[in-house]
Structure 1
């Protein structure tokens, strides 16, 4: 049964529709801790969309993952 949960674990995603907020802005400190923990546990799928938090979800995720566009 442990093998089953190891397989499922890689299929779970981090939903960014409702991130912790600090007023009208994303709480970057708390979100960063959440994203770091998620990755440390072996997960790597993030679900975001432009409409989540009026576009702030994608910006926050980019910042948390330290992703740069070329």
Structure 2
């Protein structure tokens, strides 16, 4: 029915399709462990201070630390 060259071409096309599909699906996985670690690191590095707002402008806020 099919000659050998045609079978090889079809096999290569199917293999290419499978490889592309696997690559796309593996690239779309969500990595939840890194997200959790990133959030905890951000909380540890966050700095707080008490301040009084003295002046508010369009692009800035002037404050005085308590």
Larger relative contact order (CA 8 Å, sep ≥ 6): 1
Q: Shorter-chain-normalised TM-score: which range? A: under 0.3
TM-score (norm 1): 0.26
TM-score (norm 2): 0.27
